[in-house]
């Protein structure tokens, strides 16, 4: 088979495939959706309601991730739990906490991050109970309460 004929067949096949759905990685990302709020500003986080120990909310969701915010009252505790399907990146914005990962405790403060792969048990404990704590939590894939398991 002559080389010119092979190249013609190859070019025709590529043209047919591209017309039927050549999609670049950027096109795929655009189809998944872009975040509505690209920059997190702590001023948008409401205060903790009277009688409550925390405020937790999803701020945005895009590209298979969700950005959540956690505000804890001074002596509040996040009981030991893990996520069946999500990796979690916890970043402290304000205040200091003790993050217990499995059986190890870490003192974590502003601009410090804890990586928690799926199925890793963690708890968030007050350091001294004197200040409110503000943190961001990035879940990948996006947060689902149904995938959160509280450890007793």
Give the rounded percent of residues in the chain with a pLDDT score beyond 90: 58
Q: Which of 5-14, 61-70, 99-108, 140-149 has the lowest mean pLDDT?
A: 5-14
Architecture of domain 42-150: Sandwich (2.60)
DSSP-H helix ranges across 25-144: 25-32
Q: Which of 51, 43, 63 is nearest to 139 (CA)?
A: 63
Give the rounded percent of residues in the chain with a pLDDT score beyond 70: 74
**Residue ranges of domains in the chain:** 3-32, 42-150
**Total-model pTM:** 0.75
Name every residue whose Cβ is closer than 8 Å to that of residue 26 and which is 6 or more positions away in sequence.
none
Alpha carbon distance 24, 20 (integer Å) = 13
Q: Side by side, which strands form the sheet with 78-83?
A: 104-108, 97-101, 122-126, 78-83, 148-150
Alpha carbon distance 53, 4 (integer Å) = 74
Q: Which of 132, 152, 140, 146 is nearest to 48 (CA)?
A: 132
Query: Which of 10-19, 26-35, 42-51, 132-141 has the highest average model confidence (pLDDT)?
Result: 132-141
């Amino acid at each position: 088979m002559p080389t010119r004929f092979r190249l013609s067949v190859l070019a025709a096949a590529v043209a047919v495939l591209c017309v039927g759905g050549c999609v670049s990685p950027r096109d795929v990302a655009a189809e998944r959706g872009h975040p509505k709020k690209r920059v997190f500003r702590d001023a948008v986080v409401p205060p903790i309601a009277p009688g409550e120990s925390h405020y937790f909310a999803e701020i945005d969701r895009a590209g298979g991730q969700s950005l959540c915010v956690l505000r804890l009252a001074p002596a509040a505790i996040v009981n030991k739990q893990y996520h069946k399907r999500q990796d979690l990146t916890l970043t402290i914005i304000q205040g200091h906490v003790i993050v217990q990962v499995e059986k190890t405790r870490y003192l974590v403060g502003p601009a410090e991050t804890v990586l928690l792969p799926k199925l890793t048990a963690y708890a968030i404990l007050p350091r001294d109970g004197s200040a409110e704590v503000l943190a961001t939590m990035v879940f990948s894939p996006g947060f689902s309460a149904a995938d959160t398991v509280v450890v007793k």
